[in-house]
Amino acid sequence: MLPIDFNINGYNVKNIESNDLKKVLCCINNSNDSDDLIGEYETFTIEDIELRYAETLINSLEFFCGIFYNCDIVGIMKGRIETKGINGEVWLISYFLLNQYRKEGIESQILNKFETYAREKFNINNFNVIVMQKNQKVQDFWIENGYKIKRVTRGNICNDKMEISIYEKSIK
C-alpha cells in the first residue's frame, strides 16, 4: 500500500488499517451519499471491504485512506498510481466525504492538499477520476476543482452497463 498521511484543518487523511474496516463499512452504509462513492446505492458487507483492503495491501501503488475527524472516519479516498516512464498519474477510484462534513469547502481543500502531497511526495502531476455519467452533482464537483472531461465511455458497474466520464487534471 502506498503510504499516505497528511492533515488539513483538523482532518487527517491516512492509510486504513485492519482495525478500521468496520468503521469504513459504517461510514459507507450509514450514508445517503454512497452514490457519490460508487455511483449506485449499494450495501457493502464487511467481506467486500476486507477484499478491497487486501487488494490494496498487496499493491505498492494503491492507496486506501480514511478521512478522519475527531478519531471518526468521515470519508474515504481510494485509488492508485500508474507509472508511465518517468511520469506517473493518480487514478482516484473513490473519493467520499459524509455530507455533514462538507462544510466551508473542506472536500475541495482535502482534494487540493492530496494533489499537492502526491506531487511533492511521488512526483505526480496528472490526476484522473472516474464518475458515473448520471451523477451531475459529482461531475460539477470535479469541474469546480479544475478537472476537465477526458472521455465518456461505457463500463460494467454492478452488472449493469453504465456511462462513465473520465476527468483529468494536470498540475505543473
Extract the C-alpha cell encoding 119. 506531487
Whether 102 contacts 115, CB under 8 Å: no
The number of domains in the chain is 1
Helix (H) or strand (E) holding 46: helix 46-57
Residue range(s) defining the domain that contains residue 100: 5-170
CA dihedral 141, 144, 148, 149 (to 10 degrees): 30
3-state SS, residue 97: strand
CA distance 149 to 151: 6
CA distance 85 to 82: 10
Q: Residue 17: give its domain's CATH number.
A: 3.40.630.30
**What phi, psi does 121 have (nearest 5°)?**
-85, -35
The tens-digit pLDDT sequence of the chain (172 residues) is 999 999 999 999 999 999 999 999 988 887 755 454 444 456 788 998 999 999 999 999 999 999 999 999 999 999 999 987 667 899 998 898 898 888 789 999 999 999 999 999 998 999 999 888 888 888 999 999 999 999 988 765 554 567 888 999 998 7
Q: Give the model's pLDDT for residue 38.
A: 44
